[in-house]
Chains A and B, each alone.
Chain A
Amino acid sequence: MFGRPVRRGTRERLTANVALLVATAAFVLPLLWLVLSSVEKDADLRVRLPGAPTLDNFSAVLTDEITFTPMLNSLLLCGGATLLTVVCAVLAAYPLSRYRTRFTRPYLLTILFTTSLPITAIMVPVYGLFVQVDLIDTVYGTALFLATSQLPFAIWLMKNFMDGVPLVLEEAARTDGASTLQTLARVVLPLMGPGVTVVTIYSFIMMWGNFFVPFMLLLSPDQLPASVSIFTFFGNYGQVVYGQLAAFSLLYSTPVILLYVLIARRLGGGFALGGAVKG
């Protein structure tokens, strides 16, 4: 049934097309509602064509309190955490990719094990711990935790990309007396630009959409990132202005959609497992 047919019959193709279009229609409905409501004057909860498209909802939410502050907070939090994740992942991946010792395999297996642990489960004790060590409600504390939760997968991906860089060039650099860090910065990294980009963007997308971590660790309204402020926006008002909520959701989602498009070509299914699965 699946697998590769010898002759693609026209009827078979037609059936597949129709089935996929039906599935796509079901998937697209909620997305359609988002786009249509954002330009609808008094939007409700149903998909329907707006009478007269308007940008009022966008101008209503483009204020410091609703959009600019939370988006800036998100950018600071996720940008900082992504930078930390990527730098640590590059540094850690290098020895793991290049040297073989007794510790390499156990270390990598531990990393792979950690990638799939449900981080959600430890958020309650993390909250308690952050209260004890006075990191609660600090942007840098939250960024440190976010960065760490993304780190195992970033190391794993980065090591796989690094394995693809041939050793020969490094050996040449070594014989010229370059140090480890010099070799990494001047020889290896320039050769794995796309890999670093993928890890950076993927980590950023994951953090940008993360709700639970900032929801638990940040308390002051002026520090909340968009993921949490949007929640208070539609969770705590009696009368929700759906059009404005849709407009804000769209603004908040746009960066990750655009970033994903940038790296989509390089992401096969194999990526999703960080290359851990063959066949």
Chain B
Amino acid sequence: MRTARWLPIAPATLLLLLFLAGPIGYCVWIAFTNMQLTGSSQADFVGFANFRKAFGDANFRDAVRLTLVFTVLSSIVGQNTLGLALAGLMRRASKPVRTLTGAVVIAAWVLPEIVAAFLLYAFFRREGTLNAILDWLHLPSQNWLFTLPILAVSFANVWRGTAFSMLIYSAALSEIPKEITEAAEVDGASGPRRLWYVTLPMISRSIGTNLMLNTLQTLSVFGLIWAMTRGGPGGRSTTLPVFMYDEAFNKSLIGYGTAVALLLLIVGALFSVVYLRLAKAEV
């Protein structure tokens, strides 16, 4: 009878084991083999060879560097700061402006990834809107996707992902008790000081959680970059997910690609653990 009560959890658990835990286990195994795309039966155990290869591979090191640039620029600096600024401003703005901003920023977030990629590709192209604006302002225009591809995809990711931070910070700011901000005002704390000493400490847990989730999201961006630049030109926008795909499918090195995937997964898992700690989930 007691076991029967837990029966409803079986289908979900079965799916999670078969299609999530299974692939993760398989991922760990394949990372230590030399599996190729051609003959799936010819996979030999090669120990840490793939990882040794990765750390000696200049392209891999470049991918790590670009992933860091992409993550710091688009998630930590871009989405997070812009999301907080928008949320803060929305608390002061008139209702119609607030509604309009919310609708536009969220629309960018809800659009399918590939549509977003295509829109931003058009925006950054040599003959695109950004250069049209720069020309109009008499500023030098350039072929952004060629000169600064990692910057272009980072901006694209900010455009697409800011809504998430905005929603989280809007909720966090609305939960700050009125008395606290009022007391700070009465004590004569100016705007920036109030932000630094009162508001930010009050929402510090939301900031931590938001940073974690944003970073995890950004670490796994593939479609946006792949559709905009294919990781190019010359690998200058190849972040780890793109690198991993490239090694596995364009160079047929499934084992090597999977080893890189495993490293990415481990980094992601570490972040997830920090997130759990921060979320202090009331389970």
- Tell me the A residues contacting B by CB distance below 8 Å: 1-6, 8, 12-13, 15-17, 19-21, 23-24, 27-31, 33-34, 44-47, 84, 87-89, 91-92, 94-96, 99, 104-105, 107-109, 112-114, 116-129, 131-132, 144-145, 147-149, 151-152, 155, 180-181, 184, 205, 208-212, 215, 226-227, 230-231, 234-235, 242, 245, 249, 252-253, 256-257, 260, 264, 267-273, 276-279
Are the C-beta atoms of A209 and B283 separated by less than 8 Å? no
Shortest distance from the beta carbon of A99 to any chain B beta carbon, whole Å: 6
**Complex Cα gap A83–B123 (Å):** 37
Q: Inside 8 A of A184's CB, which chain B residues have their CB?
A: 8
Given A124-B254, A269-B171, A180:B279 Cβ within 8 A: no
Are the C-beta atoms of B92 and A209 separated by less than 8 Å? no
- Tell me the B residues contacting A by CB distance below 8 Å: 4-9, 11-13, 15-16, 18-20, 22-24, 26-27, 30, 35, 40, 82, 84, 86-94, 97-98, 100-101, 104-108, 110-116, 118-120, 122-123, 125, 127-129, 132, 159, 164, 166-173, 175-176, 178, 180-182, 184-185, 191-192, 194-195, 198-199, 202-203, 205-206, 209, 212-213, 216, 219-223, 227, 241, 244-245, 248-249, 254, 257-258, 261-262, 264-265, 268-269, 271-273, 275-276, 278-283
**Complex Cα gap A205–B110 (Å):** 8
Residue of A nearest to B208 (CB): A277
Are the C-beta atoms of B23 and A30 separated by less than 8 Å? no
Shortest distance from the beta carbon of A12 to any chain B beta carbon, whole Å: 6
Shortest distance from the beta carbon of B45 to any chain A beta carbon, whole Å: 15
**Complex Cα gap A59–B18 (Å):** 44
Given A30-B120, A260-B106, A180:B111 Cβ within 8 A: no
Are the C-beta atoms of A33 and B119 separated by less than 8 Å? yes
Q: Inside 8 A of B22's CB, which chain A residues have their CB?
A: 129
Are the C-beta atoms of A132 and B40 separated by less than 8 Å? yes
Q: Specify which of B112, B216, B283 is in contact with A108 (CB 8 Å cutoff).
A: B283
Given A1-B192, A112-B276, A147-B15, A20:B90 Cβ within 8 A: yes
Shortest distance from the beta carbon of A248 to any chain B beta carbon, whole Å: 9
Are the C-beta atoms of B220 and A209 separated by less than 8 Å? no
* Count: A-B pairs, CB below 8 Å: 331
**Complex Cα gap A145–B244 (Å):** 20
Q: List 29 A-B contacts (CB under 8 A).
A: A1-B192, A2-B84, A2-B91, A8-B92, A16-B90, A29-B129, A30-B108, A30-B159, A84-B15, A91-B12, A92-B9, A95-B8, A114-B16, A117-B216, A117-B265, A120-B264, A125-B261, A147-B15, A148-B18, A149-B20, A181-B8, A209-B111, A227-B112, A260-B106, A267-B167, A269-B166, A269-B167, A273-B168, A276-B209
**Complex Cα gap A203–B16 (Å):** 16
Are the C-beta atoms of A92 and B13 separated by less than 8 Å? yes
Are the C-beta atoms of A113 and B273 separated by less than 8 Å? yes
- Which DSSP category, helix, strand, loop or mixed, fits chain A's interface? helix
* 5 closest A-B pairs by CB: A269-B171, A2-B88, A118-B220, A209-B112, A120-B220
Q: Inside 8 A of B170's CB, which chain A residues have their CB?
A: 268-269
Shortest distance from the beta carbon of A67 to any chain B beta carbon, whole Å: 14
Are the C-beta atoms of A27 and B159 separated by less than 8 Å? yes
Q: Inside 8 A of B11's CB, which chain A residues have their CB?
A: 87-88, 91-92
Are the C-beta atoms of B94 and A29 separated by less than 8 Å? no
Q: Specify which of B105, B115, B206 is in contact with A252 (CB 8 Å cutoff).
A: B115
| Interface hub of A31, A109, A257 (most chain B Cβ within 10 A) | A31
**Complex Cα gap A224–B36 (Å):** 25
**Complex Cα gap A279–B101 (Å):** 24
Shortest distance from the beta carbon of A143 to any chain B beta carbon, whole Å: 11
Q: Inside 8 A of A124's CB, which chain B residues have their CB?
A: 27, 244-245, 248-249, 254, 257-258, 261
| Additional pairs, 11, CB under 8 Å, beyond known A5-B92, A180-B5 | A2-B87, A105-B283, A107-B9, A118-B268, A122-B27, A123-B245, A125-B30, A129-B22, A145-B19, A155-B12, A269-B166
Given A145-B19, A148-B16, A268-B171, A20:B30 Cβ within 8 A: no
